[in-house]
Structure 1
Amino acid sequence: MANSSNIADEITKALKDYTSEVSEGLEQSKLEVANETVKILKRDSPKSNRKSTKKYGKGWARKKVSTAQVIYNRNKPSLTHLLEKGHAKRGGGRVPGNPHIKPAEKQAIEKYVKKVEKVIKG
């Protein structure tokens, strides 16, 4: 009986070790991908000579919310939708969108999936 108890204890210990390694790996992967995505958004954000657009590009940041890494624009959050999707002009007509968030998001998802697979496989 003592032998089967030892085996159960060893299995439990191995599973706990694996679980903590996977958890740490996933947290590290989230952080790395979030930081890379912030760099991409800073690089690819629309640029013009207007002060507001210069601040917009520099405003990308990340923060941890619960277990997630959230990427946001701290300087000009209200511009994200307008610049990504385009908007109507005051005197009529439209300003075309400049998609820069969606491509960065897609790239981040692909990188994260690859990192998760690598972490789980060990």
Structure 2
Amino acid sequence: MSNKKCGIDRIGETISREVAGYTADIQMGVIQLVDTKADELKEAIKKAAPVGKRKKYRRSFKVKVTNELNAYYEKTVFASGKEYRLTHLLEKPHASRKGGTVMPKVHIAPASEQIHKEFENEVKKLILSSKAMGGGIKRK
């Protein structure tokens, strides 16, 4: 925050400018965090993905920007090509060709939950340590 003096007639402008600076600082930090966490999620899924006859499945995971508006930034991790069909079959139990049930090999859900928790904690840290908030003032 700036230490400039302002008159009562300009206090609204000054508050708006300070809040806009704080918001922009947080937005840029969150965008960078989304980028890094999306890549981490992709790598965690690849590492945990089962390898069977189809070795392409593990390599098929990609990241893309699915929404990029002013206050909304979203990336999606997905299985590309024909391999996208396997994600549901591997995550959920299903009937086999010979009868019976195929047990799931869950690998996407645990990685996703872990990355979401880390993301939430990192956003909290980002907000508390923002330069606009005074460079790391911890409030209780």
Whether TM-score is above 0.5 comes out as yes
Displacement of 1:6 = 3.5
Give the counterpart letter for 2:88 in structure 1: H
TM (normalized to structure 1)?
0.89
Give the counterpart letter for 2:13 in structure 1: D
Give the structure 2 partner of residue 32 of structure 1: 36
Residue range with higher mean Cα deviation, 90-99 or 35-44? 90-99
Query: CA RMSD for the aligned pairs?
Result: 1.4
TM (normalized to structure 2)?
0.78
Displacement of 1:24 = 0.7
Give the structure 2 partner of residue 63 of structure 1: 64
Q: What 5-or-longer segments of structure 1 have no aligned partner?
A: none
Q: Residues of 2 paired with 1:3 and 1:118: CA distance?
A: 34
Which of 90, 95, 102 does residue 102 from structure 2 map onto? Answer: 95
Which of 21, 24, 27 does residue 20 from structure 1 map onto? Answer: 24
The answer to which structure has the higher helix fraction is: 1
Give the structure 1 partner of residue 14 of structure 2: 10
Displacement of 1:118 = 1.2
> Kindly, what percent of the aligned residue pairs are identical?
30
Q: Residues of 1 paired with 2:63 and 2:122: CA distance?
A: 19
Displacement of 1:18 = 0.3
Displacement of 1:10 = 2.4
